[in-house]
Amino acid sequence: MRGLAERLRAVREDLSVLRGNFLVLMTTWVLWRFAFRMVWPYESLYIRALGASPTILGLMNSIYMALFCLSLIPGSYVADRWGRRRIIVVMTYALGLSYLFYALAPSWSLVLVGMSVMAFCRIYSPALQAITADSLPPEKRGLGYALTNVLPDLFAIASPLVAVLIIRTYGFLQGMRIAYLSVVLAALAAGTIRLVFLEETISPRPPAGGGLLKVYSESLREMIKALREAPRSLKAIIFVPLLVFPLTNSLWAFIPLFVVDYAGVSEEEWGLMSSVRTGFSLAVGLAFGKLADKLSRRKLVVASYLMRSVAVVALVLVSGFIQVLLVLLAIDAVFNLFMPSISALRADLTPREVRGRVLGANMLVRSLASIPAPFLVGFLYEHVSPRLVFYLVGALSLVVAVLLALLVEEPEEREV
């Protein structure tokens, strides 16, 4: 009984971070994740079924990244000057409506329109990252960021299986359209919850006058200034991963195609894998997030890159349901260790008053570097070798691990 009581007390202590804005955001992420996990495993397969080749799929993602960059420039400025809440609420509604293009698309070209609208809606990304960091106490940031993955996934564990049932009943294309409509409804519900309950975390200081051009120019100037004044460790956290991030980020869209085309896994088995992986992430995510609060976040980030270099290469060397699933679970374990560690470390190094600009600048430089990557990956996948990019990601992850170990230091005092 004493052991059970201690476990319950520990769980209650872990969940004490769920209050105020963080609880509001978590509730909306639960709604969103349940619907989004129905379509996410199948998105690349859906776009291909609408007539897109791997090269076209890569080009679509490159266009998305370019437009996303244009939204990030004013987005980071708005987050620190106009406030977080207003832009988050408005763009949550708009983001949900962008998925109507996916649901109604007769071909991949209308999906591209939806991706373009979605890219603009992501203008709220710096504000969402900033308000999340604002709402977490420094000593529990690792746990908090882990919870952003674990709790929504707890409710989304069955989402891919629900998608499988819908697809079996209505066919692949019609089933996916129904699933995308559920994403629209979930986003509209999330927007309403944020409208009613989310609270601002800073005192807005909107500039006097000026049009869109002035907003863009001042946004860029403020982001460049924030990066220039950042400590060396923060600069390393932002720029060193650019050696591998564009390829890694682009590769995710092609993993479903590779697994189905070359690893002997069916589309239904891929959906089942997605549910198993979600359950696995639930089992390890919270523990790994707590590690980020107890151990050196710098060392955990470095270790994550080292393990990723092995796991990604292993995926092209296996075949069959069991082997592929085991490797994917290893990749997921690395992700669940990496995300809370690097998110918490980045927040530790960034003062609150420039957090929106720094986080926006971080997303901007990653997105700018990623613009050509999806097209390049798609071209290599279709015309050179579908395995080549996996080997490149493995090698570059090893390089990033070494550089971060040399350049990043833990802060003596964490920013609040």
Which band of pLDDT confidence, cut at 50, 70 and 90, is reported for residue 215?
low
What pLDDT shows up at residue 293? Answer: 79
Least confident of 17-31, 175-189, 259-273, 339-353: 339-353
Instruction: Give mean pLDDT, residues 334-358.
Output: 81
Mean pLDDT of 228-232: 79
Sign of the C-alpha dihedral computed for residues 365, 73, 86 and 38 taken in this order? negative
**How many CB atoms neighbour CB 351 within 10 A?**
12
Task: Identify how many contiguous H helices and E strands the chain contains and give both numbers.
Answer: 20, 0
Residue ranges per structural domain of the chain: 2-407
Provide the pLDDT for residue 391. Answer: 96
89-110 average pLDDT score: 95
- As a whole number, mean pLDDT of residues 366-393 equals 92
pLDDT tier at 225, thresholds 50, 70, 90: confident
Span 27-77, pLDDT tens digits: 999 999 999 999 988 999 999 999 999 999 999 999 998 898 888 777 766
Any idea which residue has 């603009």 for tokens? 120
CB 400 within 8 A of CB 243: yes
- Euclidean distance between CA atoms 229 and 210, whole angstroms: 26
Least confident of 101-105, 201-205, 230-234, 252-256: 201-205
Spatial separation of the C-alpha atoms in residues 300 and 377, rounded to whole Å: 28
Q: Given a cut of 60, is residue 209 above it in pLDDT?
A: no
What is the rounded CA–CA span in Å between residue 145 and residue 379? 35
Pick 2-407's CATH classification: 1.20.1250.20, 1.20.1080.10, 1.20.1260.10, 3.90.1300.10: 1.20.1250.20
Whole-prediction pTM: 0.76
- Position 11 pLDDT exceeds 70: no
CA dihedral sign of residues 374, 263, 260, 53: positive
pLDDT tens profile 134-178? 888 877 777 787 788 778 888 888 898 899 899 999 999 999 999
d(CA 127, CA 138) in angstroms, rounded, equals 18
- Over range 121-130, report the average pLDDT: 86
For the chain, give the percent of residues with pLDDT over 90: 45
Q: How far apart are CA 146 and CA 338, in angstroms?
A: 10
Mean pLDDT of the chain: 86
Query: Between 358 and 313, where is the model more confident?
Result: 313
